[in-house]
Amino acid sequence: MFSSMLAFELTETNRDWLIQRPAQIAIYIVMALVLRFILHRLIRRMTRPRGSSEKSTLSRSLRQRTPRGVKDAMVSARSAQRATTIGSVLESTVSIVILVWVVLQILGILGVNVAPFIASAGVIGVALGFGAQNLVRDFLSGIFMLLEDQYGVGDVVDVGEATGTVESVGLRVTTIRDINGTLWYCRNGEILRVGNMSQGYAVAVVDLPISHSANVHRACEVALSAVLAAAEDAAIADDILEPPEMLGVNSVTAASVTLRITARVKPGRQWAVQRALNRAALTAFENEGIEAPFLSVLSSTPPNL
């Protein structure tokens, strides 16, 4: 009889630990998994396309913020990349928040006082905030950079010390490949200004120096005719958004007179168009006998006696 009473007492004493508390813990774990699945599915639905020809909701909203002037596959790719990156950040944040919530609930069920843990977490958070200010600044700068679409993979940017093509964009570091092939790792928190040469549209600027003795009016006509003809070349015709425009005399120095021609082109194509227009204008000057500055200087230099 004593053994049966002891078994009854043990059962009554441990019923809470053997049945009720494990059941509560299991319920919280299941709730966390279901909540995480629903939120992740919602985030993926907003940030990732459901089909090959469809765009995600966030990608469409980000695409609408891009400047008008060109509709290129690069814009869609950058918007999709931004949406995917933001979606990954949101998924990680949701997972961390749910995990912390479940752990605190389980500790409360087990009878552990979670108030000291919350206070310690606050103290640790403050300490980490002071000790890892640069890391936090890099992450915050990366998030705002993605939201504001300052630059994306494939853009040609100038961030001060580094100028080149963006190869990867992260929340902490952006990698840029310059013209010499050097790969620069730039912390997002240290990027104070960004010059994006591949967003919206670009302008090809052609500066043509001529001698003071040349007929400026005639040189303008020859240069404009040459670049208009070159703009119809199949190699660059698709890159030019507006016909080249002659701005006239841009500067006058003691050595030369400089004419300037501009053309609005697709982003990232300004250098190729500029080289083609320069070649066409210089060839036309040579054929029409319009002197370059150094020729006039050489012809006016007296011989050494």
Tens-digit pLDDT profile for residues 283-305? 999 998 888 887 544 454 444 43
Q: What was the pLDDT predicted at 123?
A: 65
Write out pLDDT tens, residues 11-60. Answer: 655 666 677 788 888 999 999 999 999 999 998 888 776 554 555 555 55
Query: What's the CATH number of domain 148-196, 2.30.30.60, 1.10.510.10, 3.40.50.1480, 3.30.360.10?
Result: 2.30.30.60
pLDDT above 90 covers a percentage of the chain that reads 28
Structural domain boundaries in the chain: 2-131, 148-196, 202-300
Write out pLDDT tens, residues 222-257. Answer: 999 999 999 998 888 989 999 999 999 998 988 889
210 neighbors 198 (Cβ within 8 angstroms): no
Q: Where are the beta strands (DSSP E) in the chain?
A: 156-158, 163-169, 173-178, 183-187, 195-196, 202-210, 245-252, 257-265
Spatial separation of the C-alpha atoms in residues 288 and 270, rounded to whole Å: 27
pTM of the model: 0.59
Quick one: pLDDT band at residue 221, thresholds 50, 70, 90? very high
Classify domain 202-300 at the CATH topology level.
Answer: Alpha-Beta Plaits (3.30.70)
